[in-house]
Structure 1
Amino acid sequence: MGTAIKDIVSRENISLDQLNNQTLGFDAYNIIYQFLSSIRGQDGTPLKDSKGNVTSHLTGLFYRTINLVDRGVKPVFVFDGKPNELKAETIKKRTEIRTDAIQKHQDALEKGDLAEAKKFGSRALKLEPKMIDDAKELVSLMGFPVVQAPSDGEAQIVSMVVNKKLDGCVSQDYDALLFGVPLLYRNIGVTGKRKVPGKNIYADVEPEKIYLEKVLEENQITREKLIWIGILIGTDFNEKFPKIGVKTALKLVKENDSFEKIIEATGFKPDFDYKEVEAIFQNPKATDDYSLKFDLPDKEKVIDFLCGKHDFSTERVSNAVNKLHAKLDEKTKQSTLGQWS
């Protein structure tokens, strides 16, 4: 998911306490994928209730969000809408990867190889409509705004940040920078250590802050040229140019003042319209039909939803939601607006 521009993006490690009083737009699909991938059993199987419904994402959304609110974060969850037609090929490839992972996960389980099962289990996840509906219902019951984007959630968040409705974007994907978000936060929904892909070692995961302006200044490029880099190395909307990594792409955009000249320099003729891909990032599709009203959590409904419907521990959920309610009720009393802010 996203664009592989990591190696030319400078970032600053931060503590979660530095997010105090920040109203942040969470790329909901992205963070749900994180929870589905990371909150799993030893055999790679996601958490489920007694009816077989996946609950890993609900566990993450509930407890992790409460932790962030306790640090002073004001979360707004932005959900993807209809994917752009240019994403069809990307979606097809993800489906193929997932289908292969499902089979390999099953084979590993039959062999009793838990390490392999866990590896492929995290790749076999699929975000079902019911998971999205459950996620929207939970965060709404917790009192947080839900925004429905017309297309990409990141594009919607960019519009809201630019229009001073939000302070920043929370997503693992660097695509948000191509869309033009001034401030991107990463590793906010995950903590601890993460396995390095393809290696049996783990790396510390620390929250990161990335300023678009700093990325452009340090690389001496414009956002247009950052988008060109994305197109060269591949985005969700187009295939990458062959044998071109991010460093080569950076060199090409610096040496050429038009994408046509870059195409000539590479000798590769893409089978897609680069102008169409560029337009997606230059003109993010967004709506202003949303509310950013924050409410106190509906304690009874949260408990009924998580415990009554999805078999969560009543004692643990009650303690957590009471803690959340007390925290936000205190903020409400301090606010002259009658809602926590």
Structure 2
Amino acid sequence: MGISKLAELIRSDAPNAISYKKTGDYSGKVIALDTSIILSQFRSAVPQLGKLSHLTGLFFRTLHFLEHDIKPVFVFDGTPPAQKKNEVSMQAAESLMTSDPVLFSTDSPHIQDCKRILQLLGVPCIQAPGDGEAFCAQLVKEGKVHAVASEDMDTMPFGSELLIRQFDAKKEGDVMEYSLSKLLDILQLTHKEFVDLCILLGCDYCEKIQGLGPRRALKLIQQYKTIEDVVLHVNRKTHPIPVSWKYQEARRLFLETQQSDQPDLIWTEPNEEELVHFLCEEKHINVSRVRGRMQKFHKMLQERRKEREENSKQARMEDFFRVTRRRQVRLYYQQ
């Protein structure tokens, strides 16, 4: 679920916290990707591919990032915290698990296949100890990645400074970048107050106060600062408080800091022959599609290297003429 209606609230009350960009703006950047969300997108976008959608999707999407000189890091969900297994979340999860076990079983053959294709593409993937969103945010806080790419808003209360949505957008300006620091400044909230706001809006770790809309929740937090004080000032008849409400546990999950404790992130050249063997011979994906896409990828890399060499040559020439002009000026004054 993520944070209910947070994106809508930001668009209406803090639009300047959003920057509109294109994929190429992240050239040279390390981006953490919430893999469960990506796999869900693949399954929804191409259901006719069935059990192959996650493999073909990862193959094409990852090459797209690499062609733009983006360094992706794919983060897989681990075991979710017990708080996430409240009654409301469990009902939704059970429905999803029945229809799509790929996304919820950390040791399923599908997930292992995803990790294998990423390894063959030369891209690092990480198994989070718990929620992938929390781990992605921690990587940002530790300075190991530039931003998190996810459609869920959870990474913001977890403390990620930058959240990228619609990262696969084809049109310029369709990639949305959310800045946590700008958002807090505009809303005049501390991070802890923002976490309480997200809990009031509705999150995956506890129930919410019924009937409390996003703008009303924002005004209450801006005025009273904490959930404890908000509870004292709401009408409990129109906004009943959940029984045994575990908001304090949810708050702790969002605010606690855990070291990622990961080795250095390393990217290598894709292993084309092993990719073809795995995708085409083992998974029976059309070989011409795989070879054709790899050919396009290599062509793009060659063009980029050529462009870099030309830019480097141009820079050296500019430096040469700049130094020459300085010498000429010094000689002129010496005369």
Pair in the same fold by TM > 0.5: yes
Of 23, 40, 44, the match for 1:37: 44
CA distance in 1, matches of 2:259, 2:131: 8
CA distance in 1, matches of 2:138, 2:305: 27
Match of 1:6 in 2: 7
CA distance in 2, matches of 1:94, 1:331: 45
Query: What is the SS of the residue equivalent to 1:178?
Result: coil
* Aligned: 1:180 with 2:180: no
Amino acid at match of 2:124: P
Using the TM superposition, give the Cα deviation of residue 148 of structure 1 relative to its aligned residue in structure 2, in angstroms: 1.5
Match of 2:92 in 1: 94
RMSD: 2.5
Using the TM superposition, give the Cα deviation of residue 231 of structure 1 relative to its aligned residue in structure 2, in angstroms: 0.9
Using the TM superposition, give the Cα deviation of residue 171 of structure 1 relative to its aligned residue in structure 2, in angstroms: 0.5
The within-5 A match list for 1:203-214 is 206-214=174-182
| CA distances 1:255-280 after superposition (whole Å, capped 9, x unpaired) | 10332111122234332332211010
Match of 1:230 in 2: 198
Unaligned 5+ segments in structure 2 are: 310-335
Query: What is the SS of the residue equivalent to 2:156?
Result: helix
Amino acid at match of 1:125: D
Work out whether residues 123 and 268 of structure 2, in 8 Å CA contact, stay in contact via their aligned partners in 1.
yes
Distance 1:286 1:27, change over 3 A: farther
Match of 1:258 in 2: 226
Match of 1:296 in 2: 269
Using the TM superposition, give the Cα deviation of residue 289 of structure 1 relative to its aligned residue in structure 2, in angstroms: 2.5
CA distance in 2, matches of 1:94, 1:286: 30
Query: What is the SS of the residue equivalent to 2:294?
Result: helix
Query: What is the SS of the residue equivalent to 1:235?
Result: coil
* Aligned: 1:153 with 2:153: no
Of 120, 134, 145, the match for 1:166: 145
* Aligned: 1:277 with 2:250: yes
Of 105, 109, 113, the match for 1:134: 113
| CA distances 1:189-227 after superposition (whole Å, capped 9, x unpaired) | 3558xxxxxxxxxxx992111111111111111111111
Work out whether residues 82 and 150 of structure 1, in 8 Å CA contact, stay in contact via their aligned partners in 2.
yes
Using the TM superposition, give the Cα deviation of residue 326 of structure 1 relative to its aligned residue in structure 2, in angstroms: 5.9
Match of 1:85 in 2: 82
Work out whether residues 161 and 180 of structure 2, in 8 Å CA contact, stay in contact via their aligned partners in 1.
yes
Amino acid at match of 2:90: K
Of 58, 62, 65, the match for 2:62: 65
Amino acid at match of 1:313: N
CA distance in 2, matches of 1:135, 1:207: 25
Amino acid at match of 2:27: N
Work out whether residues 148 and 290 of structure 1, in 8 Å CA contact, stay in contact via their aligned partners in 2.
no
Using the TM superposition, give the Cα deviation of residue 12 of structure 1 relative to its aligned residue in structure 2, in angstroms: 2.0
CA distance in 1, matches of 2:131, 2:21: 27
* Aligned: 1:144 with 2:151: no
Distance 1:94 1:19, change over 3 A: same
Amino acid at match of 1:77: F
Work out whether residues 13 and 209 of structure 1, in 8 Å CA contact, stay in contact via their aligned partners in 2.
yes
Of 168, 174, 183, the match for 1:215: 183
Q: TM-score, normalised by structure 2?
A: 0.80
Match of 1:21 in 2: 28
Q: How many residues align?
A: 291
Q: TM-score, normalised by structure 1?
A: 0.78
| CA distances 1:93-124 after superposition (whole Å, capped 9, x unpaired) | 2245448xx7xxxxxxxxxxxxxxxxxxxxx4
Distance 1:249 1:86, change over 3 A: same
Higher normalized helix content (fraction of residues): 2
Distance 1:58 1:171, change over 3 A: same
CA distance in 1, matches of 2:272, 2:129: 31
Work out whether residues 148 and 164 of structure 2, in 8 Å CA contact, stay in contact via their aligned partners in 1.
yes
CA distance in 2, matches of 1:6, 1:205: 17
Question: Percent of counterpart pairs with the same letter?
Answer: 30
Amino acid at match of 2:218: L
CA distance in 1, matches of 2:93, 2:181: 35
Unaligned 5+ segments in structure 1 are: 42-46, 49-53, 103-123, 193-203, 336-341
CA distance in 1, matches of 2:206, 2:259: 21
Amino acid at match of 2:71: K
CA distance in 1, matches of 2:226, 2:261: 33
Work out whether residues 155 and 285 of structure 1, in 8 Å CA contact, stay in contact via their aligned partners in 2.
no
CA distance in 1, matches of 2:89, 2:209: 19
Amino acid at match of 1:305: F
CA distance in 1, matches of 2:54, 2:89: 21
* Aligned: 1:125 with 2:100: yes
Query: What is the SS of the residue equivalent to 1:175?
Result: coil
Work out whether residues 161 and 181 of structure 1, in 8 Å CA contact, stay in contact via their aligned partners in 2.
yes
Work out whether residues 296 and 328 of structure 1, in 8 Å CA contact, stay in contact via their aligned partners in 2.
no
